Structure 1
Amino acid sequence: MNQTDRARPSQTMRVGAAILGNALEFYDFTVYAAFATWLAKAFFPADNPNTSLLLAVATFGVGFVVRPLGGIVIGAYADRFGRKPAMTLTIWLMALGTGIIGLLPTYDQIGLLAPVMLVFARLLQGFSAGGEMGPATTYLLESAPAHRKGFFGSWQLASQNMGSLLSALIGLLLALLITPGANDSWGWRIPFLLGILIAPVGYFIRRNLDETLNREEAHASVGGVLSDILANHWAKIVLCILLISGATISQYFFLYTTTYAISTLHYSQGWAMATNFVTFISGTIFALLGGLLADKYGLKTVTIVPRIIVTLLLYPALQLVVSSGSPLVFLATSATLIAFHAMSSGAGIILIPLIFPAIVRTAGLSIAYALGVTIFGGTAQFAFTWIIGATGDKLSWVWYVIAMSVISLIATMALRLPEGVERRRQGATTGAAVASSSS
């Protein structure tokens, strides 16, 4: 073995670098949702607490406005110049946006400039998050053995849940270690300041990655990538957006549990953060289980069946939560629901890049995912809060989640993978076809 071979990172190290970087990215992006109640007080003071919260979650949605732009620009950049430089760029952009939030003076200190700067920080985070998901997922799939693409790819959703889990853990520690008054005053800044560490840590773990893009077959320009996507693959993108719709609204329902527990169910901060923490432990574990099952039973099967189960369970499960008035029931219910959601989404996110050829794979995934999450995920928390406030019914918003899950199921059934990509239940490996679709 020569020195170059010895210096080359192992498969485990390559995948670990993509996973850890992605987890840190989504920690920075989603920690806002976990701390929306405190951000509402700091940047959007109002006589009506629900108005303050609406403004705070609307600003959370602002981060989604530029996600399609980030997906288009960075996704095409990754298909032209490589997955590795694209993932490095997103790391630095996300850290900058998160650092601004952590250091930003409040409304009481600088007036209207505070919410304006908060919006700017969310735009930076949104652009970065829109660009991160495509290169990271593509890198995971292209680094995987042909018969384990389901498991490797499922680390995408698992790492997102790990990022949310980290934000929930920090929130739980803050709830236990400092007073509510201290949290309102300065404690909410801690998770954002910690998020600045994403830049040096992420850069360090990704700097020695091998490149998986075959540059000899890549388009000659970023414009060439985008022209190919728009001319030849727009119908696939539309279907993928619809697939993502129900999955992303469900995902942001689980991110909404902290706000829902405090503002609607009137549970304590400690119970709210504990529920968030346990929920995303479950989500991380079952996302990986979904990937393992997808390698055995097929991607579409594992995307569809758990989604049907969670859609059927959602309303009666949350009805039980509201009628019981028990935070422990809420915790157990959330952990159970996300288990089925994560299995479905862990497999479903892998379907999307595999239907595109490698020379436009990252752009196709990035654009479809960013548009789907922007249209449906970015508006989810605002929609939930508005529906509850308008109807006075603590369960009225659940029907919106159910309706979008049905649309997601229909789109999933309509997707057609290249012949041979789906691994047969009997265990026959179709590596040649997958390898062909990866080249």
Structure 2
Amino acid sequence: MREELGLLPGVEGKGEFNVQRAAFAATIGNMLEFYDFITYSFFAVEIGRTFFPAHSAYASLMLSLATFGAGFLTRPIGGIVLGIYSDRVGRRPAMLLSFALMGVAILTITFTPSYDTIGLAAPIIVIAARMVQGFALGGEVGPTTAYLIEIASPQRRGLVVAWQPASQEIAATAGALVGVMLSSTMTSDMLDTYGWRLAFLIGAVCLPFGLWMRRTLPETISHDERAAESVESSSHVMQARRHIRVIVLALMILASGTISTYVTQYMTTYAKNTLHVSPSLAFTVSLVSNGLQIIGALLGGWLADRFGRKPIMIWPQLVVLVLTYPAFLWIVQAPGAWSLLFGFGILSFIGSLPFTAFYAAFTEALPQNTRGGVFATIYAVAIATFGGTAQLVVTWLLHVTGDPLAPSWYLLIAATVGLVAMCLMPETAPVKIGET
């Protein structure tokens, strides 16, 4: 009965606590991350004009996207440092540190004067802030995903971990909504001058609230476990070697999911610049597709608890592989509200189902004393390698080929790699292996 109410025995003497509240507090950093990501993606053109004036709109956009990608360079470092820190010191200190660094970075970007005001210092400050932000974000997902697994009962791990991808889509939906509202009420000059800054500032409002909530979280790693871990300093590397097969498969799946997520979120810029639809329609498409991904992520976790991790990874991924090219063909040949909303919407919904099951499977396959560090490192490497380049690759492909279907081919390759790896992942669901 207590588990049905979301109450589990306390951790480290904290008494009973509400799992839903703890899950929200743990994932609020992911919300800020994806809100920032969506905001930057939506306003990449305006940010480019503010900090990177160039002779052509294409060059300005590419410089803006390159700066966005600069933050991914420091993600693996943050994943290693903050991930291992979470295993040895605790999940809560690591989550607090990453969130604080994230807040400093987003406020710096928000209040940095334009290139016209302070010259070359403007892009330098923005790039430095993006790199600090990348470091913080690199250590965000591993500790929080480990924390979600550790506070959940075995039979509900998939649903609780579902708040990891769901929180990202909630933030993406909020970002899309802000984009729709600002683009509908402001002129182009207003968006260039202060509109995009207002969007960032809205996200920063959650900083004090998020810090307070994370400070109240109970710890899931006991003092005895931390002491034992500090004695064996090489345990992360040694235990990672024992799980090398799962780690390689996870890297392939994360690469696939990262490309899919970041290319899909780029569809606002794609719809405006390539398909030449109205900005309000482009933002609305992102709003609808992100909302459907929230439902898909939670549904995927619920299904993974009942039918196992592998079926929920494999079958939806196969459907996405089959539908991607026809959906893009329809969108390109008949760009409009119906094709964009339905085409991107159905791909977003089905594509969100497998990755909740994967998060649970990968985290369950790792021992607790290396879970945060390994997950954070692999996630950060995948994001840095494929997330930081996804929008650049798509923009470049569209520019050099002139083919509006170019993003679909990139997505097809990624989906194929992910499907192969999902087929080879071990089953870890308690309902399948008899864990209680």
**TM-score, length basis structure 1:** 0.92
Q: Secondary structure at the match of 1:216?
A: helix
The one-letter code sitting in structure 2 at the alignment partner of 1:342 is: S
Moved more, 227-236 or 160-169: 227-236
Contact map agreement 1:315 1:398 (CA 8 A) in 2: yes
Q: Secondary structure at the match of 1:248?
A: helix
CA deviations 1:171-223 (Å, max 9, x no partner) are: 11101222222112211101212233343111111111111113323411694
Moved more, 231-240 or 397-406: 231-240
Contact map agreement 1:237 1:367 (CA 8 A) in 2: no
Partner of 2:120: 112
Contact map agreement 1:152 1:291 (CA 8 A) in 2: yes
Offset of 1:229 from its aligned partner? 4.3
The one-letter code sitting in structure 2 at the alignment partner of 1:423 is: V
Moved more, 379-388 or 39-48: 39-48
Offset of 1:296 from its aligned partner? 1.2
Partner of 1:55: 63
Partner of 2:3: none
CA deviations 1:87-122 (Å, max 9, x no partner) are: 111111111111111111112222222112111111
Offset of 1:400 from its aligned partner? 1.4
From the superposition, tell whether residues 21 and 372 of structure 1 become closer, same or farther in structure 2 (CA, over 3 Å): closer
Contact map agreement 2:29 2:140 (CA 8 A) in 1: no
Say if 2:316 is the partner of 1:306: yes
RMSD: 2.1
Partner of 1:430: 434
CA deviations 1:133-157 (Å, max 9, x no partner) are: 0111111111111111111111100
Say if 2:135 is the partner of 1:127: yes
Offset of 1:32 from its aligned partner? 1.4
The one-letter code sitting in structure 2 at the alignment partner of 1:78 is: S
Give, in whole Å, the separation in 1 of the partners of 2:104 and 2:85.
20
Contact map agreement 1:26 1:129 (CA 8 A) in 2: no
The one-letter code sitting in structure 1 at the alignment partner of 2:390 is: A
Q: How does 1:364-375 map to 2 (within 5 A)?
A: 364-375=374-385
From the superposition, tell whether residues 225 and 95 of structure 1 become closer, same or farther in structure 2 (CA, over 3 Å): farther
Partner of 2:222: 214
Give, in whole Å, the separation in 1 of the partners of 2:49 and 2:89.
43
Give, in whole Å, the separation in 2 of the partners of 1:190 and 1:146.
42
The one-letter code sitting in structure 2 at the alignment partner of 1:236 is: V
Partner of 1:334: 344
Contact map agreement 1:151 1:288 (CA 8 A) in 2: yes
Q: How does 1:227-246 map to 2 (within 5 A)?
A: 227-246=237-256
Aligned length: 425
CA deviations 1:282-336 (Å, max 9, x no partner) are: 1111110011111111111101111111111111101101111213421221111
Offset of 1:169 from its aligned partner? 1.2
- Ranges in structure 2 where 5+ consecutive residues have no aligned partner: 1-8
From the superposition, tell whether residues 6 and 356 of structure 1 become closer, same or farther in structure 2 (CA, over 3 Å): closer
Partner of 2:4: none
Give, in whole Å, the separation in 2 of the partners of 1:170 and 1:147.
37
Say if 2:198 is the partner of 1:196: no
Q: Secondary structure at the match of 1:185?
A: helix
From the superposition, tell whether residues 165 and 392 of structure 1 become closer, same or farther in structure 2 (CA, over 3 Å): same
Structure 1 stretches of at least 4 aligned residues deviating more than 6 Å after TM superposition: 4-7
Q: Secondary structure at the match of 1:217?
A: helix
The one-letter code sitting in structure 1 at the alignment partner of 2:346 is: T
Partner of 1:287: 297
Contact map agreement 1:140 1:152 (CA 8 A) in 2: yes
Give, in whole Å, the separation in 2 of the partners of 1:7 and 1:413.
41
Give, in whole Å, the separation in 1 of the partners of 2:95 and 2:13.
23
Q: Secondary structure at the match of 2:223?
A: coil
Q: Secondary structure at the match of 2:219?
A: coil
Offset of 1:422 from its aligned partner? 4.7
Moved more, 37-46 or 359-368: 37-46
Moved more, 134-143 or 198-207: 198-207
Give, in whole Å, the separation in 2 of the partners of 1:422 and 1:411.
21
Give, in whole Å, the separation in 2 of the partners of 1:397 and 1:172.
24
From the superposition, tell whether residues 229 and 301 of structure 1 become closer, same or farther in structure 2 (CA, over 3 Å): same
From the superposition, tell whether residues 93 and 225 of structure 1 become closer, same or farther in structure 2 (CA, over 3 Å): farther
CA deviations 1:37-68 (Å, max 9, x no partner) are: 21111122222211211111121111111111
Contact map agreement 1:65 1:123 (CA 8 A) in 2: yes
Give, in whole Å, the separation in 2 of the partners of 1:300 and 1:119.
40
Contact map agreement 2:154 2:430 (CA 8 A) in 1: no
Partner of 2:51: 43
Candidates 337, 342, 362, aligned match of 1:352: 362
User: What is the percentage of aligned positions where both structures have the same residue?
Assistant: 37
Contact map agreement 2:173 2:286 (CA 8 A) in 1: yes
Say if 2:405 is the partner of 1:405: no
- Ranges in structure 1 where 5+ consecutive residues have no aligned partner: 433-439
From the superposition, tell whether residues 225 and 27 of structure 1 become closer, same or farther in structure 2 (CA, over 3 Å): farther
Say if 2:330 is the partner of 1:320: yes
Offset of 1:225 from its aligned partner? 4.5
Contact map agreement 1:28 1:94 (CA 8 A) in 2: no
Partner of 1:146: 154
Contact map agreement 1:60 1:378 (CA 8 A) in 2: yes
Contact map agreement 2:310 2:427 (CA 8 A) in 1: no
The one-letter code sitting in structure 2 at the alignment partner of 1:59 is: T
Q: Secondary structure at the match of 1:65?
A: coil
Candidates 95, 119, 127, aligned match of 2:103: 95
Partner of 1:170: 178
Partner of 2:425: 415
Give, in whole Å, the separation in 1 of the partners of 2:161 and 2:33.
17
Partner of 2:165: 157
Partner of 1:80: 88
Give, in whole Å, the separation in 2 of the partners of 1:132 and 1:217.
21
The one-letter code sitting in structure 2 at the alignment partner of 1:273 is: F
Give, in whole Å, the separation in 2 of the partners of 1:5 and 1:13.
18
